[in-house]
Structure 1
Amino acid sequence: MADKAFVTPNVLKWARESARMSLETAAAKINVSPDKLNEWENGEAQPTIRQAETLAKAYKRPFALFFLPEVPRDFLPLQDFRRQSAKELGTGSVFIIREIQQKQAWISDVNESNQEEPLAFVGRFTIKSNPQTVAKDILSVLEINPAHYSSDKPIKEWIDKAEAKGIFISRTSFIHSRLKLDSEEMQGFAIADRFAPFVFINSEDWDAPQLFTLVHELAHIWIAASGISSDIEPQLHDINKLDPIELFCNEVAANALMPAEIVSHLENPIFESSVNIFKSAKKLGVSSFALLVRAFNMNIINQPVYTKLKKQADADFKAYLIKEAEKKAKQKEKTGGPNPYLLRLNKNSRLFTQIVLDAFRGGRIAPTEASNLLNTQVNNFPKLEACIYS
């Protein structure tokens, strides 16, 4: 008979609930009935050691945690700045928040222990500040000029410049192949720590919304407002249903990505054609929709023109998405899909990955800890490191 794992029932139940898993979903992972799992959680029976280990893996919790005498203190939940009607955070969202919190806590402790200087821009402003002033400060600190990006990938420049200043940027659209992240639940979040600020971006969307999310989350760091965001791109309606901090950070992002001096100097013919708007928006790294909202808010176009161009832009965007999907499908046929180590690097943050690898090579952390932090086996570190310089 298999050895029993005498777990603490209420801890077992807490681990499942904090992973946002139903009894049915969790039970299916170990091929038992929901009633059987319910018995374990009520202390009426015990799982085998193997079953408990499988549940620990499914809940992304240490196996030893199940034997604690009481429910442990978990990471504090991030403030939720989403609409009240927002979709409830699912298992994937909960797992990525917890994973980034663990990484952030580790690197913050390391930097503080090493007596690194706290980053002056974290919390430099408040929600009462002028959004345009905050936007200009972000551009100044990161040394970015939206009028002159160095490549046709503005988001890459923003990420590189942000990480060069000590801001960790994580991007992914999945936990693993069977657990995707839903952009309707969460587009991004920020942890505004003076020693290790972290930004997460849900990469399920295409580059333009991701870039707006990134700059929106940077605004959260500049006003030291850690939290979860959705419905990030600017809107003309429902603004009263958005949290004031979200409205402020949207305004900062719009000013940083589409400075008034740039938008006001766009030639008038641009706002006569959705095709021209798309070309101008692409140069700025934003969506046509974001540029139209910005032009409307600056009184460059009126409501009828906005409505007409928005309708055209929506149709153009659907056609663009079809072309992009076809292009990706052809690319996947040729290459077999993206490099898994590059995806893992983006999820960990390039800066975070490099710091962990340096600590491991310098003997400052054990191989097991480095492997856990990077979600990569030690013997595959060279493959991960090669992607940093690709």
Structure 2
Amino acid sequence: MADKAFITFEILKWARESARISVEDAAKKVSVSPERYLTWESGSDFPTIRQAQVLAKSFKRPFSLLFLPKIPKDFQPLQDYRRNDSKKLDTASLFIIREVQEKQNWISEFFEDMGESPLPFVGKFSINDNPEIVANDILNTLNINPANYNKTPINEWIEKAEASGVFVSRASNYHSRLLLDRDLIQGFAIADRYAPFLFVNSKNNWSAPQLFTLVHELAHIWIAKSGISNEVDIEYSKRPLSRFHPVELFCNLVAANALMPKEIITQLERNIFDSNNLIFKQSKELGVSSFAFLVRALNLNLITISEYKLLKDDAETEFEIFLEKERLKKEKQKEKKNGPNPYLLRLNKNSRLFTRIVMDSFNNGSLSPSIASNLLNTQINNFQKFEKLLT
């Protein structure tokens, strides 16, 4: 008979509930009935060691944690800036938040122990400041000029954000069976003075919404408002503003000003609004959607509300055609390459900057192999695959 794991039943229940996993799903993971599983959460019986290990892995908790005498202090939940009627975060969302928090906590303590100075732009402004001034400060700090990108806009923003000390994580899933829902979470930010971290849901492969989310989350860092977002790059005219958190509205304004500065938009030729092709081309150069570009033009009184409605309807048709072309292109790429490089996906999820720091610390002997492997969720003998992608 297999040895029993004499775990603390309250911790088993807490671990399952904090992962938003049902009793039925937890029982399936170890091939027992829900009734049998509940005997473990009530303390009237215990799982085997193997069963407890499987459950700990499923709940994304260390196996040893199940044996603690009382429930440990968990990471503080991030402020939820989503609408009040938003659905509860699911397991995938909770797991990705927890993973980023673990990385952020480690790197922040690492920097503080190394005597690094806090970053001056974290919390430099507040929600009471002018969003245009905050946007200009972000552009100046990151040394970005939206009128003259040297790379694709999103790649330049990520590269320069990380060069300035902001860790950028992007992913579309927690793992292959836990996909991230953009309706639940588009991004979140941790506005730490030593190691600010932001996450962007890349479920939508199109870069425009990802870029707007990225800059929106940078705004969260600039006003030191850590939290979760899911209403980013949205046209609010048909919905009451009172439904949205003031911080979200402010960060959207900052993102709009940073990605589409007034001095750039107002200097455009007026005839650009006579052609959807020109609108689409200009939007793409700025790295934004046609919708965001049209809203910005409307807010700057460059077009009337009637022109906006007409152009928006036309843009929707053009956008559907564009998405279909992108879908077909990606299908062909998958057929040729058998899917995206898994190490590139993991690198983006870890953050390139975070990966480089962990690998450098491991290579110089200041970080143990087990910790480095856990932080990057990669076996040590595969680190060289990261090295090739980082060069």
TM-score band, normalised by shorter chain: over 0.9
In structure 1, runs of 5+ residues without a counterpart are: none
Q: Which residue of 1 aligns with 2:62?
A: 62
How many angstroms apart in 1 are the aligned matches of 2:41 and 2:107? 35
Find 1:260's aligned residue among 229, 247, 262: 262
Equivalence for 2:194: 195
Is 1:10 aligned to residue 32 of structure 2? no
What is the CA-CA distance between 1:303 and the residue it aligns to?
Answer: 1.3
Task: Describe the SS at the equivalent of 1:225.
Answer: coil
The 5-angstrom pairing of residues 1-390 of structure 1 reads 1-151=1-151, 153-205=152-204, 206-237=206-237, 238=239, 239-389=241-391
What are the Cα deviations for residues 261-317 of structure 1, in whole angstroms up to 9, with x where unaligned?
111112122212222211110000000010011111111111111111111111111
Which sections of structure 2, spanning at least 5 residues, go unmatched?
Answer: none
User: Which stretches of structure 1, 4 residues or longer, exceed 3 Å deviation after superposition?
Assistant: none
Instruction: Please state how far the C-alpha of 1:318 moved relative to its aligned partner.
Output: 1.1
CA contact (8 A) 1:81 1:228 kept: yes
Q: How many Å separate the matches in 1 of 2:288 and 2:60?
A: 36
State the distance in 1 between where 2:208 and 2:346 align.
21
Contact 1:234 1:293 in 2 (8 A): no
Distance in 2 separating the partners of 1:194 and 1:305? 44
1:99-118 deviation line (CA, Å, top 9, x unaligned): 00000000000100111011
Distance in 2 of aligned mates of 1:296 and 1:87: 31
CA contact (8 A) 1:236 1:293 kept: no
CA distance in 2, matches of 1:384, 1:180: 23
- Tell me by how many angstroms 1:35 deviates: 1.4
Q: Deviation of residue 85 (structure 1)?
A: 1.5
Per the TM alignment, residue 379 of structure 1 is displaced from its structure 2 partner at its CA by 0.6
Question: Over aligned residue pairs, what C-alpha RMSD do you find?
Answer: 0.8
The AA in structure 1 aligned to 2:68 is: L
**Per-residue deviation, 1:236:** 2.9
Counterpart Cα distance in 1 of 2:35 and 2:301:
62
**Counterpart Cα distance in 2 of 1:187 and 1:287:** 16
Give CA deviations for 1:113-149 in whole Å, capped at 9, x if unaligned: 1110110000000000110000000000000000000
TM-score by length of 2: 0.98
Aligned amino acid, residue 235 of structure 1: E
Provide the C-alpha distance between the structure 2 equivalents of 1:281 and 1:240, rounded to a whole number of angstroms.
29
Q: Which amino acid aligns with 1:201?
A: V
Per-residue Cα deviation, 1:177-206 (whole angstroms, up to 9, x for no partner): 111111111000000001000010000122
User: 2 CA distance for matches of 1:169 and 1:259?
Assistant: 23
1:164 aligned partner, one-letter code: A
Q: Look up the equivalent residue of 2:21 and give its one-letter code.
A: M
The structural deviation recorded for 1:385 is 1.7
Contact persistence 1:82–1:242 (CA under 8 A): yes
Partner-residue secondary structure (3-state), 2:147: coil
CA distance in 2, matches of 1:56, 1:316: 48
Rounded Cα–Cα distance in structure 2 between residues aligned with 1:23 and 1:48: 17
SS in 1 for 2:189: strand
